[in-house]
C-alpha cells in the first residue's frame, strides 16, 4: 500500500494573522535606527515564532504600560505598537489614540482581524440599540457568547457591550446555566448570540438551537470566521481518511485546540505538537496515510518541517530499525511524555513507547487525596512526567507528574522575576519574618517590610487572601523573595499620576477626613490628600475643626486652589448655594415679615437670627412704639418675635429689623377700621332718618 502524508490546504496562518505578522516583519526589515517596536500582547499563539520576533528586537507590552511607553517616545527613540489580530478593548483603543495624538513620536498599527472588527461593530451597535430601547421603557437586550471568557478576542468585544453578558465555553455549559436558573433575571430581555471566531462549528449549531428553544426572537450573528469553518471541515474530512493525524499549533491557541478535538474524535491516533522534534517516536508503525492540519497561528516553515519529518519516518521501510529505535531505554531522572492507557484507583498507566509501562501514583499527581483521577484525565491524554525509578524486571517505570509541574512552574516564577511581571498568588502562612505566598504552586516568601501592612500591625491578616506581588529575588534551592508593597507603590504612583493629569480647579470630590490639625482637615481624595482650611469648613466661624468634623467623616469638597508643582490642593466645603447670605436673600426682601429668634442683647438694640448664620439688628428705637430704657425691658434671649425687614445692605451683609413698624401698622389698621365703622354708623343713622321722613 502506498504510504503518504497529506497536508491540509488551509493549514497555517489565516488572513488576519498573516496580515499582522507581515506588518511586524516589514517594520523589522525597514527598522529605523533608535526605533522601538512593540506588540500589544504576544502577536500570535506560537512561542517559536514569538521568540523569533524577540530575537529580532520586537518587545511585548501591555495596555497598562502604554502611557509610560508613550511618554518615553522621542524623536531619537520613537515607539511603534502593533495590535495583534485578536484586537483590543474599547478602553485600550481610546488610550492608544489619545497617546498618539499627544506625542507625534508614538504611533500604533491596528492589525485587528476584519472578522473580529465585525464583532466589535455588532457588539457596539447592539449596545446602542439596547440603550435606545431602555430610554423608551422597553425591556432591553443582553449578550450570550460562545467562547473563552479569558481569551483576548472575547475580552475585546465584550468591552463594547455595556449591558449584561454571559460567556459559555460549550453549549452544555449554557444548558446547565439555564437549568439552574442563572439567566432567569434576563428572561424578559432579547438575547444577542455571538461566537468567538475560532469556535467549534458543532458547538455553535448546538447552542443556536438551545437559544432558539429557550428565548423568543433571539438575535443570532454567525461570527465564526469562514476560514476557521473551512479549516475545521477540512480537518474532519482528512481525519476520516487517515490512520494518523498531526495537529500543529501553540498550546494556548484556541483554534488549534478545536482542531485537535475534532481530529481526535474521528481518528484515535491524533497528536498535537508545536515543533517537528515533538514527533519523535509518536508516529505509529502501521501508519499508511497521515494527515497534517495546523492552527491559524502556525508559521508555514514549521508546517513544512513537520511534514518533512513525517514523510521521512512514514516512507522509511526499515520498520525493524524504527521499532528498535522506538523501544527507548529509560533512566532515572529523565523527563518523558506518555499516553494514558489505563486509569485505576490511585494511579494512571502510560504508554511511554519503551520496554516498560509508566505508572504515576496519585500522590505524585496531586496533593489532594480526594481528587478523582477519572475527572482529571481520560484515556488517550498525553502526560509529561519525571522518571523516579525504572524496573526492567517488573516492567514498569515509576513516574512523577508533580515534579515536572513543579519544574515548569518554577521556571514561570524565575521568568516573572526576570521580566518584573506582576503575578497573582495566595497567602498560605505567616511567621514573625513575613508571609508565604503560593505562586504557580511554588512558595514565594514576602518579608514583613514588603507586605504592605504598616509596621506594628499584624500582617497575619493576609493569610487566606489572594494578592498581587512582584518576584524580586531568586535564590538557590528554588527559593524566591517577593514584594506586595512594590506592586502597591506602582499602582499608587499610577493613580497619583493619573490624578494630577486630570485634576482642575472647581472639580468636586467626595472624600474621607484623614487627619485633623488646629488649622484644618486633610481629606483623602483617592490616594492624594487635599487640605480644607478651618475657614473653609463652614460659613460659621469656628475655633476648632474637630467641632465640625471627625476623622473618617465623608466630606463633599471642591478644589479651590491648585499647585501642581508642589502637589498641594486647597479645598473648600463652602459653596455659593450653601452661603447663608445667598439663602437669606433668596428667601426675603425689604418689606417682608419674618419670625426671628433673639440671640443677643446689646445697649443699642437686639440681634435676632433670621436664617441660620444670618442675624439682623433690631435697633432700640425699633423695639417698641414708645421710648424704652434698655432692650431687656422688652425682650429676652431665645424669644421668638415677628419683625419687619426695613433695610438690607448687600455690600456689608447687614440687615435692619423693626418690631415698631409692625406695631404702628397694626395701630394704623385699627384706627382705619374704627373710622370706617364710625362713618358706617353715621350713614346708617342718616338712612334711618330719611326712611322716617318718608313714612310721615
Contacts of 284 (CB under 8 A, 6+ apart): 243, 244, 269
Report yes or no: 593 and 643 within 8 Å, Cβ to Cβ: yes
Contacts of 190 (CB under 8 A, 6+ apart): 139, 140, 141, 142, 215, 216, 217, 218, 219
Q: How far is CA 458 from CA 432, 451, 621, in A?
A: 10, 10, 70
In Å, the largest CA–CA distance within the chain is 163
Q: Which of 85, 111, 107 is nearest to 96 (CA)?
A: 107
Cell of 210: 438551545
Catalytic residues: 153
Say how far apart CA 316 and CA 303 lie, in whole Å: 20
Start-to-end Cα distance in the chain: 157
Residue 85 CB-half CA count within 13 A: 25
Q: Which residues contact 175 (CB under 8 A, 6 or more apart)?
A: 210
Residue with cell 485505576: 344
* Burial grade of 286 (CB within 10 A; 0-12, 13-18, 19 or more): exposed
Close Cβ partners of 380 (under 8 Å, ≥ 6 residues apart): 264, 268, 339, 340
- Strands 529-533 and 106-110 come out as unpaired
Of 447, 453, 449, 497, the closest CA to residue 473 belongs to: 447
**Alpha carbon distance 195, 662 (integer Å):** 81
User: φ, ψ for residue 350 (rounded to 5)?
Assistant: -130, 145
Amino acid at each position: 500500500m502506498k504510504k503518504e502524508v497529506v497536508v491540509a490546504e488551509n493549514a497555517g496562518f489565516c488572513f488576519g494573522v498573516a496580515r499582522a505578522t507581515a506588518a511586524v516583519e516589514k517594520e523589522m526589515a525597514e527598522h529605523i535606527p533608535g526605533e522601538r517596536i512593540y506588540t500589544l500582547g504576544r502577536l500570535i499563539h506560537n512561542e517559536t515564532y514569538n521568540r523569533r520576533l524577540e530575537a529580532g528586537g520586537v518587545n511585548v507590552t501591555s495596555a497598562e504600560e502604554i502611557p509610560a511607553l508613550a511618554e518615553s517616545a522621542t524623536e531619537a527613540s520613537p515607539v511603534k505598537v502593533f495590535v495583534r489580530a485578536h484586537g483590543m478593548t474599547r478602553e485600550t483603543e481610546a488610550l492608544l489614540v489619545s497617546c498618539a495624538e499627544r506625542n507625534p513620536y508614538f504611533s500604533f498599527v491596528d492589525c485587528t482581524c476584519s472578522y473580529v472588527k465585525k464583532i466589535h461593530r455588532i457588539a457596539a451597535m447592539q449596545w446602542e440599540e439596547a440603550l435606545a430601547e431602555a430610554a423608551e421603557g422597553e425591556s432591553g437586550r443582553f449578550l450570550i457568547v460562545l467562547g473563552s471568557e479569558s481569551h483576548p478576542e472575547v475580552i475585546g468585544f465584550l468591552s463594547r457591550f455595556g449591558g449584561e453578558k454571559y460567556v459559555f465555553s460549550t453549549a452544555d455549559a449554557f444548558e446547565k446555566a439555564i437549568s439552574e436558573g442563572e439567566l432567569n433575571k434576563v428572561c424578559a430581555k432579547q438575547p444577542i448570540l455571538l461566537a468567538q471566531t475560532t469556535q467549534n462549528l458543532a458547538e455553535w449549531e448546538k447552542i443556536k438551537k438551545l437559544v432558539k428553544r429557550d428565548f423568543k426572537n433571539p438575535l443570532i450573528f454567525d461570527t465564526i470566521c469562514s476560514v476557521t469553518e473551512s479549516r475545521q471541515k477540512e480537518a474532519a474530512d482528512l481525519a476520516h481518511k487517515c490512520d494518523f493525524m498531526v495537529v500543529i499549533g501553540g498550546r494556548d491557541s484556541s483554534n488549534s485546540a478545536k482542531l485537535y478535538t475534532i481530529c481526535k474524535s474521528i481518528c484515535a491516533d491524533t497528536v498535537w505538537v508545536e515543533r517537528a522534534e515533538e514527533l519523535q517516536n509518536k508516529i505509529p508503525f502501521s501508519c499508511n496515510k497521515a494527515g497534517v492540519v495546523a492552527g491559524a497561528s502556525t508559521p508555514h516553515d514549521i508546517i513544512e518541517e513537520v511534514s518533512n519529518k513525517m514523510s521521512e519516518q512514514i516512507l522509511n521501510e526499515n520498520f525493524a530499525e524504527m521499532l528498535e529505535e522506538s523501544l527507548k531505554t529509560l533512566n532515572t531522572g529523565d523527563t518523558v511524555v506518555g499516553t494514558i492507557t489505563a486509569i485505576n484507583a490511585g494511579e494512571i498507566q502510560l504508554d511511554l513507547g519503551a520496554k516498560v509501562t509508566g505508572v504515576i501514583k496519585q500522590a505524585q499527581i496531586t496533593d489532594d487525596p480526594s481528587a478523582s483521577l477519572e475527572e482529571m484525565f481520560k484515556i488517550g491524554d498525553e502526560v509529561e512526567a519525571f522518571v523516579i525509578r525504572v524496573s526492567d524486571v517488573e516492567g514498569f517505570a515509576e513516574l512523577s507528574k508533580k515534579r515536572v509541574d513543579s519544574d515548569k512552574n518554577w521556571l514561570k516564577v524565575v521568568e516573572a522575576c526576570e521580566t518584573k511581571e506582576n503575578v497573582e498568588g495566595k497567602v498560605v502562612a505567616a511567621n514573625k519574618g513575613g508571609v508565604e505566598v503560593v505562586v504557580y504552586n511554588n512558595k514565594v516568601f514576602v518579608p514583613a517590610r514588603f507586605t504592605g501592612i504598616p509596621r506594628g500591625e499584624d500582617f497575619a491578616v493576609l493569610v487566606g487572601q489572594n494578592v498581587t506581588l512582584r518576584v524580586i529575588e531568586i535564590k538557590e534551592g528554588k527559593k524566591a523573595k517577593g514584594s506586595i508593597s512594590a506592586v502597591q507603590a506602582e499602582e499608587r504612583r499610577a493613580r497619583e499620576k493619573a490624578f494630577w493629569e486630570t485634576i482642575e480647579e472647581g472639580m468636586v470630590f467626595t472624600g474621607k477626613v484623614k487627619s485633623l490639625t488646629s488649622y484644618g482637615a486633610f481629606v483623602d481624595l483617592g490616594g492624594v490628600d487635599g487640605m480644607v482650611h478651618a475657614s473653609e469648613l463652614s460659613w460659621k466661624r469656628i475655633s476648632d475643626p474637630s467641632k465640625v468634623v471627625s476623622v473618617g467623616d465623608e466630606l463633599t469638597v471642591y478644589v479651590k486652589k491648585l499647585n501642581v508643582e508642589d502637589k498641594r490642593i486647597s479645598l473648600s466645603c463652602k459653596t455659593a448655594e450653601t452661603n447663608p447670605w445667598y439663602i437669606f436673600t433668596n428667601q426675603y426682601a425689604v418689606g417682608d415679615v419674618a419670625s426671628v429668634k433673639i440671640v443677643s442683647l446689646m445697649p443699642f438694640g437686639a440681634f435676632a437670627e433670621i436664617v441660620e448664620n444670618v442675624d439682623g439688628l433690631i435697633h432700640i428705637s425699633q423695639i417698641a412704639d414708645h421710648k424704652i430704657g434698655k432692650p431687656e425691658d422688652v425682650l429676652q434671649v431665645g424669644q421668638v418675635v415677628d419683625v419687619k425687614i426695613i433695610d438690607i445692605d448687600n455690600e456689608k451683609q447687614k440687615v435692619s429689623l423693626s418690631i415698631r413698624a409692625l406695631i404702628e401698622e397694626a395701630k394704623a389698621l385699627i384706627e382705619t377700621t374704627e373710622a370706617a365703622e364710625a362713618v358706617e354708623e353715621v350713614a346708617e343713622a342718616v338712612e334711618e332718618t330719611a326712611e322716617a321722613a318718608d313714612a310721615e
